[in-house]
Amino acid sequence: MNTHVKKISGEPADLSRRSFLVGTAAAGLALGYSAVPGLLGADQALAAPAKFDPSVWYSIGSDGLVTVTCGKADMGQHIASTMAQIVSEELGSSWKDMRVQLASNDPKFNDPVLGAQITGGSWSTMMNFDAMSRAGAAGRIALTQAAATIMGVPAGELVVRDSTVSHPKSKKSMSFADIVKSGKITKTFTPDELKAIKLKTPDQYTMVGVSVPQLDIPPKSNGTAKYGIDVNLPGMVYGAVVTPPVRFGATVKSVDDSAAKKVPGFIKAVTLDDKTGSTTGWVVAVANTYANAKKAAGALKVAYDGGPNAKLSSESLLEEAKRLQKLDDSGQFFVKDGDTAAAFGTAAKVLEAEYTTSINIHAPLEPMNATAEFKGDILNIYSGNQFATRSGAIAAGAAGIDPKFVVMHQMWLGGGFGRRLDADMMVPAVQAAKAVGKPVKVIYSRENDMTMDYSRPLTFQKVKAGLDGDGKLIALNHDVVSAWPTQRWGIPDFLSPSVDKKGPLDAFTVNGADFFYSVPNHNVRAIKNEMAHNATPSGQLRSVAPGWTFWAVESMIDELAHAAGKDPAEYRISLLDGKGKNDGGAQRLRSTLLAAMGMAGYGTVKLPKGEGMGVACVSSQERATASWTACVAHVAVSPSGEVKVKKLTVATDVGMQVHPDNIRAQVEGAALWGLSLAMYEKATLKDGGIEQTNFDTYTPLRMSQMPEVAVNVIANGEKPTGVGEPAVTVIAPALGNAIFNACGARVRALPITAEAVKASMKA
């Protein structure tokens, strides 16, 4: 279990918790700089003479506009709008009065549960619902008290609706704007008072559960939304990076800029001295325009020492993974229930299978970029980023200054998917700005962005399962070998203790393997592939570990069902018995699977030859934060092995829907991501470098490849769970299982190719 999510299930968030510390190899600790001037906060948001700031999360201007400051990165999940919606529910404001702005890295905007500014894990709604609700309610209480004083009526007789406080008996009413202008608001709240506020119950909601128009959509439909790449500062110049042919570990031997000097507008070539370890062997060409910087970058002659990884390939990483998996003392245990060795001894049938996934690239459509400006003591960074707390420390490390002097200006993110948890793009911007004494905007070319991605790691998984005489699953060994993306952060809070006490492990490589099936003897071993870790430093790609663990688990469960002569869906239902630690979750997952089966007509629709349906169900993202998600995939497979996906039916239990339309958009996007990863996206390493450089060789799903997608959202009134990622993880195994049912071919490698399907078809 991951320590960072322990708190979320029970009590309201501890509003005073600030125990989260961030450390990086380079920059040490970074926290506590609320005194830095110029931070974008409520104070800077409104010029109105009288305003009311009930909490750090929003302020109300004398014009009645409510501006919510979102501490989360908005990368298309509309989280800023969602935060405004939750505030608005309790505040009683009208939706047309709501505005949003993006927070700086001031720690006062830290996540109330995580104690840092990080956006990922599909955590944002679940971890901020309580705090935003309380902030909204506190504002309503304060406004009501002030209105009661002004009107001379008891506060208890007042009604708050549509940004107006009214007194039905006397027919008096005041708008929020009037109350703010009156200057009569005096009520403040201690953390204990905030905690004691009685919030609405779901039956009283009028905003939560309503698909209000997203606040960020109009500016994203007319080109006015500002992303990091759009930043423009006075006197700014541009940087284009030259990256080595090796993903990681190269060094620059020499730079010849004689040809670059002939490019008009060329200013300087800066070789990075990156003590944060984010980049190796990079040079930035700085020029007066980006086009000239690109030209100059192309004209630079850089000689490299390829370093220790220059000979490595995807094949060598996979071979190393297999070698490590065979060793008895590799890795650490994430799950160790019962005694699998003994159980295998008594098993009637033992199955073994190996599952792999390829390197995958985030490729958000907005290439990585950052703008750095030194102004007095302050380093200003403009960039869309998912992890301001750590990224600020990296920027500081690149500048050689204390992190308290870094101000991060958040922008809209042109896609995140986990890529913008990293801060490598800040290093060239900072060091170039320092070298030329001007603000510098660095933009990666698509080629830089692809070849220098903190990719989803190549993974190798070996699963061994034992069935008793009735076909019941009695033992499962599951080994997961991969690079460790989250360990790379160097933040102990994000690692988890191992069951066998062999030191902390990166649970973001094995989450999902601790599923809700009841298996009496169950081992999960997390094995770090050090070679892959060094050669292809990995990151968190939308859904992270469950994107590969469920590929193995849900494929294997299917293989076991067929071995036992049972229907794969029925087999899952019998394993989801809700016994012991699986009580609650297993039942919800079972119901979700049944919902998907019902919608898809699984087991009732007669399919032509060459077609098949396959099921999968998952508890992504983590055991403690699961959204219960199931998929029925319907495919047609041609004799050549070509797979046509006809329909994906996805059901997901999200507890509570804040914005039903957005949930559908996110689940559909996530499902198509799952399909894209399962069938269309593959990156490979050769001679230490990523071979794919642009969208001609790395090919995410396009419109013509989109199947019909049906989404069914189950909202049973429990706490809201995340929706941005879970559906990614359920697609690949559902497809693999459907392919098996269509043609008898079992594929165990992602992405699925026609050749692999054909090769495994029964003659």
Site string for another protein, 392-421 (x = CB under 8 A): --------------------xxxxxx----
Give the gyration radius of the chain's Cα atoms.
27
* Assigned token pair, 177: 């704007």
Q: Does residue 647 bind another protein (CB under 8 A)?
A: no
Site string for another protein, 28-67 (x = CB under 8 A): ----------------------------------------
Q: Does residue 703 bind another protein (CB under 8 A)?
A: yes
283 vs 434, 448, 701, CA distance in Å?
A: 14, 12, 33
Pick out residues in 60-89 that bind ligand FES (CB under 6 A).
Answer: 76
Q: What is the DSSP letter of 496?
A: B
Among 4, 51, 78, 434, binds another protein (CB under 8 A): 78
> Which residue lies nearer to another protein by CB, 504 or 707?
707
Among 20-28, 73-81, 426-434, 755-763, the segment contacting another protein (CB under 8 A): 73-81
Q: Does residue 694 bind another protein (CB under 8 A)?
A: yes
Q: Does residue 266 bind another protein (CB under 8 A)?
A: no
Q: How far apart are CA 761 and CA 111, in angstroms?
A: 50
94 vs 65, 138, 162, 206, CA distance in Å?
A: 9, 16, 4, 11
Q: Does residue 567 bind another protein (CB under 8 A)?
A: no
Q: Does residue 724 bind ligand FES (CB under 6 A)?
A: no
CB count, 10 Å around CB of 308? Answer: 15
3-state SS class at 154: coil
Site string for ligand FES, 362-391 (x = CB under 6 A): ---x--------------------------
Among 90, 106, 366, 506, binds another protein (CB under 8 A): 366
Among 11-19, 455-463, 690-698, 731-739, the segment contacting another protein (CB under 8 A): 690-698
> Which residue lies nearer to ligand FES by CB, 293 or 752?
293
78 touches which of ligand FES, another protein, none (CB within 5 to 8 A by kind)?
another protein
Q: How far apart are CA 373 and CA 370, in angstroms?
A: 10
Contact present, 495 and 533 (Cβ < 8 Å): no
CB of 364 to ligand FES, least distance (A): 7
Site string for another protein, 133-172 (x = CB under 8 A): ----------------------------------------
Q: Does residue 223 bind another protein (CB under 8 A)?
A: yes
Site string for another protein, 520-539 (x = CB under 8 A): --------------------
Among 222-230, 274-282, 333-341, 620-628, the segment contacting another protein (CB under 8 A): 222-230
Range list of H helices, 176-257: 176-182, 191-196
Q: How far apart are CA 603 and CA 759, in angstroms?
A: 27
> ω into residue 492 within 30 of 0, thus cis?
no
CB of 726 to another protein, least distance (A): 15
Residues ≥6 apart with Cβ < 8 Å to 460: 318, 321, 322, 325, 354, 355, 356, 481, 482, 529
525: left (phi over 0), alpha (psi -120 to 50) or beta: beta
Q: What is the DSSP letter of 309?
A: T
- Ranges of beta strands (E only) in 600-684 are 611-618, 628-637, 643-653
> How far is it between the farthest Cα atoms of the chain?
87
Among 185-193, 215-223, 514-522, 634-642, the segment contacting another protein (CB under 8 A): 215-223
Q: How far apart are CA 465 and CA 513, in angstroms?
A: 14
Among 415, 490, 578, 700, binds ligand FES (CB under 6 A): 415
Q: Phi and psi dihedrals of 648, rounded to 5?
A: -115, 120
Q: Does residue 445 bind another protein (CB under 8 A)?
A: yes
> Which residue lies nearer to ligand FES by CB, 411 or 532?
411
Q: Which helix (H) or strand (E) holds 342?
A: helix 340-346
CB of 238 to ligand FES, least distance (A): 16
Q: Does residue 234 bind another protein (CB under 8 A)?
A: no
* Assigned token pair, 377: 């003591």
> Which residue lies nearer to another protein by CB, 15 or 701?
701
Q: Does residue 221 bind another protein (CB under 8 A)?
A: yes
Among 29-37, 172-180, 270-278, 442-450, the segment contacting another protein (CB under 8 A): 442-450
- Residue 182 buriedness (CB in 10 A; 0-12 / 13-18 / 19+): middle
Among 14-22, 212-220, 474-482, 748-756, the segment contacting another protein (CB under 8 A): 212-220
Q: Does residue 541 bind another protein (CB under 8 A)?
A: no
DSSP per residue, 683-741: B-EETTEE---STTTS----GGG--EEEEEEE--SS-----SSHHHHHHHHHHHHHHHH
Contact present, 751 and 624 (Cβ < 8 Å): no
Instruction: Specify the amino acid at residue 279.
Output: T
Among 147, 363, 430, 473, binds another protein (CB under 8 A): 363
Q: Which residues bind ligand FES (CB under 6 A)?
A: 76, 365, 415
Q: Which residues bind another protein (CB under 8 A)?
A: 75-78, 211, 213-214, 216-227, 229-230, 232, 238, 264, 289-291, 363-367, 412-417, 443, 445-446, 660-662, 664-666, 668-669, 672-673, 676, 694-696, 700-704, 706, 709
